[in-house]
Amino acid sequence: MVKIGILGGSFNPVHLGHLLIGRAAAEAFGLDKVLLIPCAVSPFKLGDADLAPGADRLEMIRLSTEGDEVLEPSSIDLQRGGISYALDTVREVRSMFAGARVFFIMGMDSLRQLSHWHRALEMLELCDVITVTRPGSDAPVSAAELDFPPGVRERLMEGIIKGRLFDVSSSEIRRRIADGRAIRYLVTSAAESYITARGLYG
> Residues 144-198: pLDDT tens digits?
999 999 999 999 999 999 998 788 999 999 999 999 999 999 999 999 999 999 9
100: in domain: yes
Percent of the chain residues past pLDDT 90, beyond the cut: 89
3-state secondary structure of 119: coil
Q: For residue 109, what are the domain limits?
A: 3-167
Helix, strand, coil abundance in the chain, percent, nearest 5 = 45, 20, 40
pLDDT of residue 165: 79
| Number of domains within the chain | 1
Evaluate whether residue 71 is within a structural domain: yes
Judged against a pLDDT cut of 90, whether residue 48 lies above it is answered with: no
Query: What's the pTM?
Result: 0.95
Whole-angstrom distance between the N-terminal and C-terminal Cα of the chain? 45
The residue type found at 2 is: V
Angle (CA) 116 103 117, round 5°: 10
Q: Is residue 177 in some structural domain?
A: no
Per-residue pLDDT, 87: 98
Residue 92 belongs to a domain = yes
Q: How confident is the model at residue 136 (pLDDT cuts 50, 70, 90)?
A: confident
The Cα 51–Cα 96 span in angstroms is 27
Asked whether the bond before 150 is cis by omega within 30 degrees of 0, the reply is: no
Q: Is residue 63 part of a domain?
A: yes
Over residues 45-63, the mean pLDDT reads: 90
Statement: residue 47 has pLDDT above 70: no
DSSP for residue 136: T
**90 in any annotated domain:** yes
Which CATH number fits the domain that encloses residue 155? Answer: 3.40.50.620
pLDDT of residue 182: 97
